[in-house]
Amino acid sequence: MSQNPVNENPDWQDPQNREHRASSRRDENAMWSIFGYLLSGLLFWGGVGWAADRFFNTSFLTLVGLLVGMGGALYLVWLRFVRE
């Protein structure tokens, strides 16, 4: 019976490889979280600004809502990822 060289030292058992994959996964999760913060801030506060534009019959509150949403999202990203 011949031994399979793949089973002798598979990549999933290598501690350095496991640490690298875990670090890579954390970085990918952080990027998706940042993307989610930015998108949800723009959509929510842009929607609030759009609704306020319709309610007050103005044309500038959508921009204000988008700016508030982006500013708030960047602040949350800074709180969670930069301050650590």
Asked whether residue 49 is domain-assigned, the answer is yes
Asked whether residue 76 is domain-assigned, the answer is yes
Q: What integer best gives the mean pLDDT of the chain?
A: 85
Q: How confident is the model over 18-54, as pLDDT tens digits?
A: 676 777 888 889 999 999 999 999 999 999 999 999 9
Q: Could you say which DSSP state residue 79 is in?
A: I
Asked whether residue 74 is domain-assigned, the answer is yes
Q: Model-level pTM?
A: 0.71
Nearest to 84 by CA among 33, 19, 39, 9: 33
Asked whether residue 84 is domain-assigned, the answer is yes
Mark out the alpha helices in 1-84 (DSSP H runs): 5-8, 15-56, 61-77
Distance of alpha carbon 51 from alpha carbon 39, whole angstroms: 18
Asked whether residue 26 is domain-assigned, the answer is no
Query: What is the total count of domains within the chain?
Result: 1
Q: Copy the structure tokens of residue 71.
A: 């500013």
Asked whether residue 25 is domain-assigned, the answer is no
Q: Could you say which DSSP state residue 81 is in?
A: I
Asked whether residue 23 is domain-assigned, the answer is no
pLDDT of residue 59 exceeding 70, the answer is yes
Asked whether residue 43 is domain-assigned, the answer is yes
Comparing 8-12, 14-18, 48-52, 79-83, the range with the smallest average pLDDT is 8-12
Domain that holds residue 58: 34-84
